[in-house]
Structure 1
Amino acid sequence: MTQRTTLLIACWLLLAGASGALAQQQAAGPPPAAPAPRTIVAVDVVGARTVGARQVQAWADLRPGDLFSNDAAAAAIRGLFDTGKFSDVFVYRQDEPDGVRVILNLTEFPRIKEIVFKGNEKVGEKDLEEAFPPLIGQFANRAVLVRELQPLRDLYQEKGYYSMEAHLDSSVVDTNNLMQLVVTVDEGEKLKARTIDFEGNTVFSDDDLRGKMKQSTGGFLRSSTFKPQQFDADKEKIALWYRDHGYLDAQVTDVDMEFAEDRAKVDLTLHVEEGPLYTVGDINWEQNERFDDLAVASRILLEKDDVFRESDYQETLRALHSLYWDTGYIYITIEPEREIRDHVVSVTFRFQEGEPARIRDVRIVDNQKTRDEVILREMRLYPGDVFSNSLIELSQRDIFQLGYFNNVMPEFQPADQDGDIDLIMKVEEKQTGQFSFGMAYSAQTSVTGFIQIAETNFRGKGQNIGLAWQFGSRQRYIDLNFTEPWFLGTQTLVGVDLFDRYQYNFDDFYESRLKGAAVRLGRRIPGTRFSRVGLR
């Protein structure tokens, strides 16, 4: 006869402890022995709706041919619970003539088919969706889901809401074991900085350091809302302020945050380690061949025995790089070596100059309307020229000042093994056409209407065309203008104006009419880019 014995989780985990208690109550004999291990002949999985039987067996670590025991059953239960996919796990054994059949009876958590946010008024749903983990299709294990709320708390804290609370609700589970997860948010109020104090500062006062921070405790046109990212940036600003006054080791080592009972206000205390004051020692340079010592020295801002200021040091590096970049040495490497003795900083700049680079090609990209030649004629560097960083910056400025672009960014690509480069000007075009209309009234002109149309980049050729039309019973005019800033491909401006104007003066009983045309000529002043002399 087949005997079936039900083994529940409580039996497996409490068996050892229960035996001690039974020994006290039943002094007449020893506790009952656990069933002897038997070979597993089959493992049946019941209740798994979306997880395969083989996967369940692997998690339970129970397979035909293994020995089945109390310990094996307990380990299987723990293993299945640890997956986070099951709300209930039961293990049954059924004795067979040649071994034991193991039955794993499971109840899966429902899967999430939709996530809905409620209560969020100050943070948009899109921001919440981006911060919340992608849980669609995942098992709705509440113990796991509660941990997933932390990114939402972090998001709210970044925006200053430290009292935010969130909890989970779920709607009715459908027949497919799918559910809607509802995340309800209690946003609370923004955290305000009540006080900002410092400890460890002797060189600069609290007011000096507070003045370097964007975070404030409120005041005229200043908000006291606590913003963590801004506050972190403020800590770095304080350290930079110290380093720029010779305290190279200064840092904000810790921050104490004491919250008010309602967590709506916080007292901030920043702990500062100032360190010693550093001064400038010897400044040397080596391996400069392209420029003589005088040219290099003219770019160095550090003076011996002065306070060692980090800003002077960084600006010196920029100036030395610029010296070389303006003459084509874009592959220059400057290796500064600092030597510190007794709080005196000596610096040696070592140059690896390389060879100058030339411009092989100049290309314009992302211009949908504006023609290449309109942009290229504003360039100060051309194919074959030696690379110059300052001329590229001037070209970037001149193109931007055309008024056709939101942004102009130079990019560089290696062109050949000689180190030459292709210069790519990447532009972002903007709307250049304008249209306006309206009505007006005055005692002299009565009711008038107007229409104005202007295009500063006509046909993408950089030409300017405009129409102004005003109409009414006492005043009418129409003006038409056209400007070609590069006539026949030269830096000569040619413009034509046509006009027809009529006005009736009601008070003096006279009228006037004027028709005509005007021609404008201009030429760029040599050495400038946007200055012209003209004649009309």
Structure 2
Amino acid sequence: MAGSMAQAQSQSFNVVDIKIEGNRQATSNLILSVVGIKKGDDLTATVTQDALRRLYGLGFFKDIEILAEEVTGGLNIIIKVTELPKLRNLIFEGNKEIKSGKLKDELGLTTSHYLSNNLVFEKKNKIIDLYGEKGYFMADVKYELKYNDDSTQADLIYKINEGSKVKVEKVFLTGNVRVKADDIIGKMRNRKRGFLKSSNFDKEKYPEDKDKIIEYLHQQGYIDAYLKSDSIAVDSASNKMSIYLDIYEGPRYYFGKTTFSGNEVLPANILEKALKYREGEIFDNEKFDESFYELYFLYQEKGHLHVRLIDDRKTRDTLIDINFDIAEGLPSEVNLVRIIGNTRTKEKVIRREMTLRPGQVFHRSLLLRSIRDIMQLNYFGNVTPDIIDLPSGDVDLTVTVEEKPTAQVSAGAGYS
């Protein structure tokens, strides 16, 4: 504020006239519409402060002054602005690992952007982050603005010193009691590796590394294990990194007794044969999941496509007892079989190879046999089945075939 407005902080004045000065690219109409002050308005300190806030919010101006001149009937208002330069060219120097086109896409700067200090600094940090993601933690970025003759535009030049990739010198692991640190760290991509293998830090692989070490512990029976904390430290002098991991290992668990309830179609001794683990073995989630799916496939083979399996686990010391509660449901029958995709091969040729047909109870093995026999005709590059559930509990089956080009069909093969 300047002139008599400095003495009018608690007063209201009538606006007689309002002018804009200093604008070169932003139009006066735009500035006036954002300011929201018109001839005849009452001007107060609050109105003035709100106008300044809105103008700066545009991001177009380096400096703004609202000056007032006392005249008969009120005040003449002059809004003086100093515009920021608009981006003319975006230039990168020194970049090899990240191409200029990639950097431009990531920064998202266009010639419509005004170059404020905050914006230029923000994009500089974005470049540093991009290099950090590629393992160049010591990358240094400086910038320079080169103005045109009237300073309305500027070339923004980012000068990049990429440095070299940070190498992992050592992984420090704490919290492990029974499992050797080397066995756990050995599951990581980011670790100090042999002479012929790269030890460069790969930021994208780091989250996977943290998941892998916990998955490994779970597979070893330590199903309560989790990562308590992790951190990294880079020695700028040597450009080498240390990784610090602290885990909770917990007790080691073993498979206990496995029981079944709700099963009538399949007896327990048949279900037990599908299990991929035995009582007393180290508990392994992967083996448990495989067993779960094998049980499901057993029922699918019997036509029970809507079987529901719920596992109830109970812990006895370090033993995990499992009961599979089974809701078998009713077997599903095949309602319709649709053949699609055949343009040269007659449908009856395909249907006569189908072992699984309408009216039959669905059997997974019959479906697989049908697909195999259709493929053996040597007319098709691919055969894809799709099982469609019906409200009745039965299913429709759609078989989609992809016919081979005529030249690829074996000599002597027919289509009728």
TM range (shorter): 0.7 to 0.9
Q: Secondary structure at the match of 1:91?
A: strand
| Equivalence map 1:57-72=2 (5 Å) | 60=35, 62=37, 67-70=42-45, 72=47
Q: Which amino acid aligns with 2:120?
A: L
> Which of these residues, 383, 400, 408, is aligned with residue 462 of structure 1?
408
1:349 aligns with 2:275: no
**Equivalent position of 1:501 in the other structure:** none
Q: Which amino acid aligns with 2:298?
A: L
Q: Which amino acid aligns with 2:338?
A: D
Structure 1 residue 242 displacement after superposition: 0.8
Structure 1 residues 396 and 218: alpha-carbon distance in aligned structure 2, compared to 1, 3 A threshold: farther
Q: Secondary structure at the match of 2:414?
A: helix
Q: Secondary structure at the match of 1:296?
A: helix
| Cα offsets for 1:167-222 (capped at 9, x unmatched) | 33344448894554433322211110011221111111221112222223131432
1:361 aligns with 2:287: no
| Cα offsets for 1:22-55 (capped at 9, x unmatched) | xxxxxxxxxx886843234555444455656676
**Equivalent position of 1:246 in the other structure:** 221
Once residues 366 and 2 of structure 2 are traced to their aligned partners in structure 1, the CA distance between those partners, rounded to angstroms, is: 82
1:233 aligns with 2:208: yes
Over the residues paired in the alignment, what is the CA RMSD in angstroms? Answer: 4.5
Q: Is the 8 A contact 1:371 1:460 kept in 2?
A: no
Structure 1 residues 163 and 292: alpha-carbon distance in aligned structure 2, compared to 1, 3 A threshold: same
Once residues 206 and 296 of structure 2 are traced to their aligned partners in structure 1, the CA distance between those partners, rounded to angstroms, is: 33
Structure 1 residues 38 and 187: alpha-carbon distance in aligned structure 2, compared to 1, 3 A threshold: same
**Equivalent position of 1:201 in the other structure:** 176
Q: Which amino acid aligns with 1:7?
A: A
Higher helix share: 2
Please give the TM-score of this superposition, normalised by the length of structure 2.
Answer: 0.77
Q: Which amino acid aligns with 2:226?
A: Q
**Equivalent position of 1:299 in the other structure:** 274
Structure 1 residue 397 displacement after superposition: 13
**Equivalent position of 1:223 in the other structure:** 198
Structure 1 residues 71 and 204: alpha-carbon distance in aligned structure 2, compared to 1, 3 A threshold: same
Q: Is the 8 A contact 1:163 1:263 kept in 2?
A: no
1:262 aligns with 2:234: no
Higher strand share: 1
> Which of these residues, 104, 112, 115, is aligned with residue 137 of structure 1?
112
1:312 aligns with 2:287: yes
Once residues 385 and 100 of structure 2 are traced to their aligned partners in structure 1, the CA distance between those partners, rounded to angstroms, is: 37
**Equivalent position of 1:106 in the other structure:** 81
Structure 1 residues 197 and 488: alpha-carbon distance in aligned structure 2, compared to 1, 3 A threshold: same
> Which of these residues, 187, 190, 193, is aligned with residue 212 of structure 1?
187
Comparing 238-247 with 111-120, greater Cα deviation is found at 111-120
Q: Which amino acid aligns with 1:488?
A: G
**Structure 1: which 5+ residue stretches go unaligned?**
1-5, 16-31, 430-456, 464-482, 491-536
> Which of these residues, 156, 167, 171, is aligned with residue 142 of structure 2?
167
Q: Is the 8 A contact 1:322 1:389 kept in 2?
A: no
1:488 aligns with 2:389: no
1:283 aligns with 2:258: yes
Structure 1 residues 213 and 37: alpha-carbon distance in aligned structure 2, compared to 1, 3 A threshold: same
> Which of these residues, 249, 269, 278, is aligned with residue 274 of structure 1?
249
| Equivalence map 1:79-158=2 (5 Å) | 79-112=54-87, 114-133=89-108, 135-158=110-133
Q: Secondary structure at the match of 2:287?
A: helix
**Equivalent position of 1:514 in the other structure:** none
Once residues 145 and 179 of structure 1 are traced to their aligned partners in structure 2, the CA distance between those partners, rounded to angstroms, is: 12
Structure 1 residues 45 and 303: alpha-carbon distance in aligned structure 2, compared to 1, 3 A threshold: farther
Q: Is the 8 A contact 2:309 2:326 kept in 1?
A: yes
**Equivalent position of 1:388 in the other structure:** 364
How many residues get paired?
A: 409
Once residues 421 and 120 of structure 1 are traced to their aligned partners in structure 2, the CA distance between those partners, rounded to angstroms, is: 59
Structure 1 residue 161 displacement after superposition: 1.4
Q: Which amino acid aligns with 1:165?
A: D
**Equivalent position of 1:26 in the other structure:** none
Q: What is the percent sequence identity of the aligned residues?
A: 20
| Equivalence map 1:397-476=2 (5 Å) | 412=386, 414=388, 417=391, 420=395, 423=398, 459-463=405-409
Once residues 390 and 230 of structure 1 are traced to their aligned partners in structure 2, the CA distance between those partners, rounded to angstroms, is: 43
RCO comparison, higher one (Cα < 8 Å, 6+) = 2
Q: Which amino acid aligns with 2:414?
A: L
